[in-house]
Amino acid sequence: MSPNYMRSFSEGCLRPPTVTGQFHTLFFGSVRVFFLGVLGFAVYGNEALHFSCDPDKREVNLFCYNQFRPITPQVFWALQLVIVLVPGAFFHLYAACKSIKQEDILRKSFYSNFYISSVFLRIILEAVAFWLQIQLFGFKVSAIYMCDMGALEKKSNITRCMVPEHFEKTIFLIAMYTFTMITVVLCVAEIFEISCRRLGFLKTR
């Protein structure tokens, strides 16, 4: 791919054709990524080291922590961010390869419908991630986790484990749910903006 294509692709990703889309990019790329990258590491970075069970043995702690966290929240949210970016990136890659100007995206029905489809797909992916987050992490992190050690000790045995900084993790969970909902609202608002432009209620640049 030539440098011009790469430049068009990067400009399309950073400056979507709608005002709402540009705000979404700013929110997604600064607030959400910064929150996850900086604060997420501070809250979850040493969780496995401080997760302790009774009896406090390395193999018990490791076994129960893997049961408590089938996937770490940082990995899940990082995957969510990457996957949600794919539809928009695919559209802007297509636009760059076809040399489509940003102003033409909203003026031509095929391009605008294609772009709206990518936004709809983004909403669906955010909704699926929202549901998966509920299934994996719930809405609250308890201070005590009851671990079933039957597979480790070959007999039924429930042990208590202490979850470090459980209150901070609960706040972080709520924040990530909130960010997902804000992103979905911005996507819906972007589709509404495009519809208003096509109906003539807003001027297309």
Q: What angle do CA 161, 176, 12 make, to 5 degrees?
A: 145
192-203 residue pLDDT tens: 888 887 776 666
Measured distance CA(23)–CA(156) in Å, rounded:
53
pLDDT lower than 50: segments of the chain: 1, 5
pLDDT of residue 131: 94
The predicted pLDDT at position 56 comes to 80
What does the pLDDT read at residue 36? 80
Alpha helices in 27-108 (DSSP H): 33-34, 40-44, 47-50, 58-68, 73-97, 102-107
Domains of the chain, start order = 20-204 (1.20.1440.80)
pLDDT digits (tens, 9 = 90+) for 142-154: 999 998 887 776 5
